[in-house]
Structure 1
Amino acid sequence: MRRVRVSSLQAPVHKLGDSQMKLTPKFRFGTAALSPTLSVPVIADPNTSPEPPVELIPGLPDDVALNCLLRLPVKSHLSCRLVCRQWHNLFSSKSHFFTLRKTLKLQSPYLFMLAYHRCTGKIEWRVFDLTHLSWHTIPAMPCRDHACPRGFGCVSLPELGSLLVCGGLVSDMDCPLHLVLKYDVYKNKWTVLPPMLSARSFFGGGVIAGRIYVAGGYSTNQFELNSAEVYDPVKGMWDPVASMGIHMAASDSAVIDGKLYVTEGCAWPFFSSPRGRVYDPKPNKWESMAIGMREGWTGLGAVYDNRLFVISEYEMMRVKVYDMESDTWDPVDGPPLPERVKKPFSVSCLEQQGRIVVVGRGLHIAIGHVERCFDFSKSSCNKSFSKANYAIRWEEVEAPHEFSDLTPSSCQILYA
């Protein structure tokens, strides 16, 4: 497998969010503490009669009005805070706002992108509202200045609004990290979690039953690892799991039907068959990946409908889907990935909505809408059977010009 090097020797670029840049408001909230209620207590004058309570929206009950206001996009919060004191209390704290949305089950998807400047290698996070198609930022991630962005392993717990960044590589020393950082969208801040048992970079990972698994990667002196471990968010600690059986780094990984699939990826020309491993947490056992799967996993993938979809880098960026029963890959009907979304790119998936999200250089986004249909035919025994076929259509989202120097390293979806 070939690792990507990031140069940090050229002139710096300006920070995103500067006054000359016309972007939507930040996720970052003010420092003022928020009262647990929506209204701000006022000290009444005993010589005056009490004023009637102010309604959130005149003519509507407060519970109905709150339900309406919690649907407003983040980009409108700054102006909404100027309406009245009650609105200011609601919109001045993103922590309070998103917690109320979670309580009322109004969560919507946001795409969190770990990106870096091509010239300086500086790391930052960008957030894209997939519902209202607007851009935002979050507080800077606390990490080493010379960390290699692609060395990190990023996993998310979408429904909990949590994002974990594990491991990594100090690029100027080729030194892997034990680092584990967590971002909580409901607190809008980063916290440091217990470190991994082994320092690793360029490794595979995924979430199974709410637990985070990591496997393989590079260790000190760039030796490949065969170890794997699991993090339990409830216990707050890492535990070892069964060894992979082989030493390998990972170019991609996916969780399908409760199992973790890890591939070292392909590099053209194919001098040797790529390796792949599959972990089943129930018996705590690794096994070899099927030949057809590992040889056809020629790009980054996402899981939808419990199937692996891959954007093939060696087949004109077209999408294909893996059939577990026959150990074969079937083409997905539709055009290839839009040309604007250039390599390197990162892939994620909105499984509930059947959308594959791809972020390319310059943070241009392509949203693939996947449709499922069935092909009814007859087998050799004259018995009819159906086979799932898929089609995809792409929707492009152009990023601001200010993002032209940014390259994605990972993208994760959280609900808030």
Structure 2
Amino acid sequence: MNACLPDDILEMCLVRLPLASLMNARLVCKKWRNLTTTSRFMQIRREGLFQSSWLFLFGVVKDGYCSGEIHALDVSLNQWHKIDSHTLKGRFLFSVASIQDDVYVVGGCSSLTNFGRVDRSSFKTHKGVLVFSPLTKSWRKVAAMKYARSSPILGTSEVNPDCFVFRNQQNRSDRRFYRPRVGGVSDVYEDPHRLSVRRQSRHSLDETDVSLFPSIKPCKFVRQKTEIHPAKMRLPLDFGVACSGVVCHGMFYVYSESDKLVGYDIERGYWVTIQTTPSPPRVHEYYPKLISCKGRLFMLSVSWCEGDGQIGRRNKAVRKLWELDLMYLNWKEMSTHPDAPMDWNAAFVADEELIFGVEMFKIFGQVLDFVTMFNVSDVRTGWNHISRNHATHDLDASSCMTKSMAVLRL
């Protein structure tokens, strides 16, 4: 069959394979490998909607050690795959973000006295940024943050290399900001005090450092020959500690542990305090999670369903999904998660119209995990369990706190 089919027909057959089958097909012969590794092939695969959602679980701990294992779930086939990674061994409390076909691993900690162990008594905080490519199972380093951070809050946004120029009448300086578009991408680093921005364009080949405004904690802007002087990007002083963040409609929304919501306008370069009415009631031990899905802003929080938390009354905690009306700034309850909120650090990510969640907790001496999915375009179907307890019985309970998750379409 291989000898009889023209290359273009063979290419159209291979492009329709699921990712796991495609990776096996590359092992058949050099011709199949060459056909399936070109940029044209990957573009056809993306534009032809032949990709499916893959969830990547990072930060698992075994026998007290940060093993570096990555657990990947093929959602369409409900199959888990384990990827061994020496690069992540010994690192914990890092954050991940997905950009196109890659996962960015940002910051984190590692023990100074017990390499590989989750040891917070003596540890080093990292400022490095690593990029993992699942298609090739390869790692590469990119420009690091200027300052080390553990568990930084990340958001991603598409940007345009062509920028606006705003003139400050007081000091006569130009401020340049980028107009969103389809094409290039950027990832945004955040801590309770400063905002950092990392710039990447997939169309440029060379890498250049640029001058940066000294009032922010920046990374290098890479692969972009443009000088930029951003405005001050300091969070409001009374905002508190940031616990969740996401980009939606060109705004980087950040939620604090004190239930305050602010947004950073990526295009214009300033913070805005957002007053919502009312703020969803929640159990404060569980930090809320912001999610951006189909241009809509959601939040998952834990609240009391019965008894209202009063002593002597029956109390039941539930995890609820809320949506913020971006015009009237009102939170609206969308759905109730089916599982009792036993995971203090549940992870949620969005892919197109789907929200995925993973919860891990230790019970009866074993670590269990549940993966659920919610379609925001069809709220009547509610949440669905798509996977349960795949391999977590080998993991330590500390994995519940150190885990992080990313989603890619592959």
Q: Is residue 261 of structure 1 aligned with residue 253 of structure 2? A: yes
Residue in structure 1 matched with residue 164 of structure 2 by the alignment? none
Provide the rounded CA distance (Å) in 2 between the counterparts of 1:281 and 1:70.
36
Residues 236 and 182 from structure 1, CA distance in 2 versus in 1: closer, same or farther, beyond 3 angstroms? farther
- Within 5 A, what are the aligned runs for 1:100-179? 100-105=41-46, 106-117=50-61, 119-122=63-66, 123-140=68-85, 142-143=87-88, 145=90, 147-149=91-93, 152-157=94-99, 160-170=100-110, 171-179=120-128
Residues 367 and 227 from structure 1, CA distance in 2 versus in 1: closer, same or farther, beyond 3 angstroms? same
- Aligned amino acid, residue 324 of structure 1: L
* Cα drift, residue 313 of structure 1: 1.6
Residues 95 and 301 from structure 1, CA distance in 2 versus in 1: closer, same or farther, beyond 3 angstroms? farther
Tell which deviates more after alignment, 115-124 or 311-320: 115-124
Q: Any unmatched runs of 5+ in structure 1?
A: 1-54, 218-225, 266-272, 373-389
Do the aligned partners of 2:250 and 2:267 also contact (CA within 8 Å) in 1? no
Provide the rounded CA distance (Å) in 1 between the counterparts of 2:294 and 2:337.
20
- Within 5 A, what are the aligned runs for 1:7-406? 55-56=1-2, 60-76=5-21, 87-89=28-30, 96=37, 100-105=41-46, 106-117=50-61, 119-122=63-66, 123-140=68-85, 142-143=87-88, 145=90, 147-149=91-93, 152-157=94-99, 160-170=100-110, 171-209=120-158, 210-217=185-192, 226-234=193-201, 235=207, 238=219, 242-246=233-237, 248-265=240-257, 273-292=258-277, 299-315=288-304, 316-333=318-335, 335-339=336-340, 342-351=343-352, 354-361=353-360, 362-371=368-377, 390-399=379-388, 401-406=390-395
Provide the rounded CA distance (Å) in 2 between the counterparts of 1:93 and 1:126.
27
Residue in structure 1 matched with residue 214 of structure 2 by the alignment? none
- Aligned amino acid, residue 234 of structure 2: S
Provide the rounded CA distance (Å) in 2 between the counterparts of 1:371 and 1:341.
27
Do the aligned partners of 1:346 and 1:358 also contact (CA within 8 Å) in 2? yes
Provide the rounded CA distance (Å) in 1 between the counterparts of 2:342 and 2:9.
42
Q: SS at 2:303's partner residue?
A: coil
Q: Any unmatched runs of 5+ in structure 2?
A: 111-119, 159-184, 202-206, 210-218, 221-229, 305-317, 361-367
Q: Identity of aligned pairs, percent?
A: 19
Provide the rounded CA distance (Å) in 1 between the counterparts of 2:338 and 2:188.
30
Q: SS at 2:8's partner residue?
A: helix
Tell which deviates more after alignment, 235-244 or 179-188: 235-244
Question: Over alpha carbons, which structure has the higher Rg?
Answer: 1
Alignment coverage as a number of residue pairs: 317
* Cα drift, residue 330 of structure 1: 1.2
Scaled by the length of structure 2, what TM-score is found? 0.67
CA RMSD of superposed structures (Å)? 3.3
Residues 204 and 63 from structure 1, CA distance in 2 versus in 1: closer, same or farther, beyond 3 angstroms? same
* Cα drift, residue 81 of structure 1: 7.1
Residues 148 and 227 from structure 1, CA distance in 2 versus in 1: closer, same or farther, beyond 3 angstroms? same
Residues 93 and 250 from structure 1, CA distance in 2 versus in 1: closer, same or farther, beyond 3 angstroms? farther
Q: Deviations over 1:89-123 (max 9, x none)?
A: 36779983897343443433322221412652524
Provide the rounded CA distance (Å) in 2 between the counterparts of 1:356 and 1:168.
25
Provide the rounded CA distance (Å) in 2 between the counterparts of 1:296 and 1:128.
33
Provide the rounded CA distance (Å) in 1 between the counterparts of 2:280 and 2:382.
26
Residues 402 and 186 from structure 1, CA distance in 2 versus in 1: closer, same or farther, beyond 3 angstroms? closer
* Cα drift, residue 260 of structure 1: 0.6
Scaled by the length of structure 1, what TM-score is found? 0.66
Residue in structure 2 matched with residue 415 of structure 1 by the alignment? 409
* Cα drift, residue 191 of structure 1: 0.8
* Cα drift, residue 161 of structure 1: 0.5
Residues 191 and 397 from structure 1, CA distance in 2 versus in 1: closer, same or farther, beyond 3 angstroms? same
Provide the rounded CA distance (Å) in 2 between the counterparts of 1:243 and 1:280.
12
Residues 165 and 338 from structure 1, CA distance in 2 versus in 1: closer, same or farther, beyond 3 angstroms? same
Provide the rounded CA distance (Å) in 2 between the counterparts of 1:321 and 1:186.
34
Provide the rounded CA distance (Å) in 2 between the counterparts of 1:251 and 1:95.
41
- Aligned amino acid, residue 244 of structure 1: L
Q: SS at 2:37's partner residue?
A: helix
Residues 299 and 93 from structure 1, CA distance in 2 versus in 1: closer, same or farther, beyond 3 angstroms? farther
* Cα drift, residue 232 of structure 1: 0.9
